[in-house]
Amino acid sequence: MTLTQNKAKGLIKSQSKAGKAYKNKKVRPDNIKTKVVLFNKPFDVLCQFTDDNNRKTLKDFIPIKAVYAAGRLDKDSEGLLLLTNNGKLQHKLADPKHKTAKTYWVQVEGEPTEQDLAKLRQGVQLKDGLTLPAKVKKITEPMLGKEPLWPRNSPIRQRANIPTSWLSITIHEGKNRQVRRMTAHIGFPTLRLIRYSIGKWTLDNIPNGKYQVIDNVKV
């Protein structure tokens, strides 16, 4: 075999290896266009796509594949759940280290005073640690745009002769059932909990049980 033939054979092998390497190379997540799904979760719906006990899940409302929830929302809570196909964004929004602001509309039993709310603004001691200072204010019953708040499909259990109040609470962490435990700690149990926003995303213009898709999101 001549020197020229050896060089040609070596070039063919090199090209073959390069071709296999390219074929086996995984697509980087950065090359996938980021999709965000904003879902207004109803009461009594699980934040997962499957359930062995035939309870309502995200699959009953969202027919979009390859999107995953960034954080969770309890089965008995309502409002904004964000799903995405971008793992980095999902981690950023769910990881408490990034301190993404989350605002909740909270209906509580009783009428807390400013002194009561000051405790939440300072941070309260729960079993799993001290909460970070929260932004808290009294509000009237919230509306979604110009529409009144949707009725919950299982009415709250309200005791006779005891008034209820609405609060707006913004936190930057995600302890288990944190908002409910915070209001209970100061003596005002949560009756209804609705997440209004996660970072820059809100419930605006999304009816309960519906979702909105945002394509090509810049992360």
The answer to whether the CB of 191 falls within 8 A of the CB of 157 is yes
Beta bridge partners of 198: 102, 201
Task: Check if 74 is active-site.
Answer: yes
- Amino acid letter at 170? T
Q: Cα–Cα distance between 150 and 162 in angstroms, integer? A: 22
Distance (Å) of CA 41 to CA 19, 60, 91, 138? 47, 11, 20, 24
Of the residues 74, 76, 95, 204, which is catalytic? Answer: 74
Are 189 and 157 spatial neighbours (Cβ–Cβ below 8 Å)? no
Instruction: Report which secondary-structure segment, H or E, holds 167.
Output: strand 164-171
Q: Give which of 83, 84, 108 is closest to 181, Cα–Cα.
A: 108
Please write down the HEC assignment for all residues of 46-79: CCCCCCCCCCCCHHHCCCCCCCEECCCCCCCCEE
- Tell me which residues are annotated as active site: 74
